[in-house]
Amino acid sequence: MAFLSRRQFLAGAAGLLSAPAPLRAAESLRVATLDWALLETLLAIGANVVAATELRQFREVAVTPAVPATTADLGLRGTPNFEVLRLARPDLIFNSNFYAWADDRMRPIAPVESHAIYKSGESPFALAEQVTLAIGERLQLPAAKRLTEQLSARLDRYRSIFAAGDGRPVIPINLGDARHFRVFGSDSMFGEVLRRVGLTNAWQGATSYSAAAPVGIEALASMPDAWIVMIAPHPADAVVTLSASSFWNALPAVREKRVLTLGAVNPYGALPAAGRFADLLAEGLAHAWNG
């Protein structure tokens, strides 16, 4: 099969790997959230986010969209600082099913609206599209519709580009330590992106709307033809230890240089995370296929 050259790939993907940041409305509701998937959605459509949780870690794991310096950090998602939330003076709080326990604590501060992106047995990508459009309509931000349409077009374009690849399946993983990983199945956001761009997920085992963990590193031996796609962040010592492992270096994918190490992506993200994963994967495979 003839592969696209790196120049041809990059020309075909021009404009897909990055998109301009949405403009923020001058007069918009002040919003807050505990949930990272909702946070990245709100930021991507230009909402005025005045408070959210674990912002330092969000910047490291999700990377994009950028969080304004003016957004107050509420602390841990499991134990948010409700006094800081009150001082941020939100007009509206968006919450998810993951943090529904906090609804009663937050309602005296501002109205709470709940949206779920991860639900057992349902497509996180489809739910993320629905949530994005619903929030966009609620906040009167047309960027929400543009986000869904542009990402759909981007994935369709990647599908045509990946068709010129080697046809191998992909196993997306995140290291827990040098002997274990979590793997993202067909019902995860990463798994759905693979399907939508025409790539096969090598992991056919069970997951629960995101990932299965811990899985022993020896499981990779049962998928000798796959590309191993390692999605950061990983424990630094795990990567060092693994690189010196005889078992790891004996895997066909490692011997044949079919291992991609991608930048950090929020594994429980929404459409922005789906787009970032697709972009990084496309760039990584383009380099790998063409040396």
pLDDT at position 210 is 64
Q: Is the pLDDT of residue 234 over 50?
A: yes
DSSP the chain: -PPPPHHHHHHHTTTTS--PPPPPPSS--EEEES-HHHHHHHHHTT-EEEEES-HHHHHHHT--SPPPTTSEE---SSS--HHHHHHH--SEEEE-GGGGGGHHHHTTTS-EEE--S--TTS-HHHHHHHHHHHHHHHHT-THHHHHHHHHHHHHHHHHHHHTTS----EEEEEEEETTEEEEE-TTSHHHHHHHHTTPPBS--S--SSSEEEEEEGGGGGG-TTSEEEEESP--HHHHHHHHT-HHHHHSHHHHTT-EEEE----TT--HHHHHHHHHHHHHHHHHHHT-
pLDDT at position 204 is 86
Model confidence at 211, pLDDT cuts 50, 70, 90, reads low
pLDDT at position 8 is 55
Model confidence at 291, pLDDT cuts 50, 70, 90, reads low
125-149 as b/e, with b when 16 or more CB fall inside 10 Å? bebbbebbeebbebbebebbeebbe
Answer whether residue 8 is part of any domain.
no
Answer whether residue 63 is part of any domain.
yes
Q: Is the pLDDT of residue 26 over 80?
A: no
Answer whether residue 159 is part of any domain.
yes
Residues 231 and 256 in one domain: yes
Residues 50 and 104 in one domain: yes
Residues 169 and 276 in one domain: yes
Stated length of the chain: 291
| Tens digit of each residue's pLDDT (9 = 90 or more) over 250-267 | 999 999 999 999 999 999
Asked if 224 and 253 touch (Cβ cutoff 8 Å), the reply is yes
pLDDT at position 23 is 42
Q: Letter for the amino acid at 139?
A: L
Residues 228 and 177 in one domain: yes
pLDDT at position 214 is 83
Separation CA 267–CA 261 (nearest Å): 15
DSSP 208-272: SSSEEEEEEGGGGGG-TTSEEEEESP--HHHHHHHHT-HHHHHSHHHHTT-EEEE----TT--HH
Give the mean model confidence (pLDDT) for residues 265-291.
92
Residues 253 and 282 in one domain: yes
Residues 223 and 134 in one domain: no
Residues 181 and 248 in one domain: yes
Residues 162 and 191 in one domain: yes
pLDDT at position 6 is 52
Answer whether residue 104 is part of any domain.
yes
Residues 85 and 37 in one domain: yes
Q: Is the pLDDT of residue 209 over 90?
A: no
The top-scoring range by mean pLDDT among 175-184, 212-221, 265-274 is 265-274
Which of 140, 167, 191 marks a domain boundary? Answer: 140
Give the mean model confidence (pLDDT) for residues 142-157.
97
Answer whether residue 254 is part of any domain.
yes
pLDDT at position 10 is 52
- Look up tokens 């025409």; give the residue: 198
> Number of structural domains, the chain?
2
Answer whether residue 19 is part of any domain.
no
Residues 156 and 130 in one domain: no
Domain that holds residue 114: 30-140
Residues 231 and 164 in one domain: yes
Which of 82, 108, 140 marks a domain boundary? Answer: 140
Q: Is the pLDDT of residue 21 over 70?
A: no
Which of 114, 140, 166 marks a domain boundary? Answer: 140
Is pLDDT larger for residue 250 or for residue 17?
A: 250
Residues 133 and 200 in one domain: no
Answer whether residue 14 is part of any domain.
no
Separation CA 124–CA 122 (nearest Å): 6
Answer whether residue 223 is part of any domain.
yes
For residue 128, the domain's CATH number is: 3.40.50.1980
| Tens digit of each residue's pLDDT (9 = 90 or more) over 71-124 | 999 999 999 999 999 999 999 999 999 999 999 999 999 999 999 999 988 999
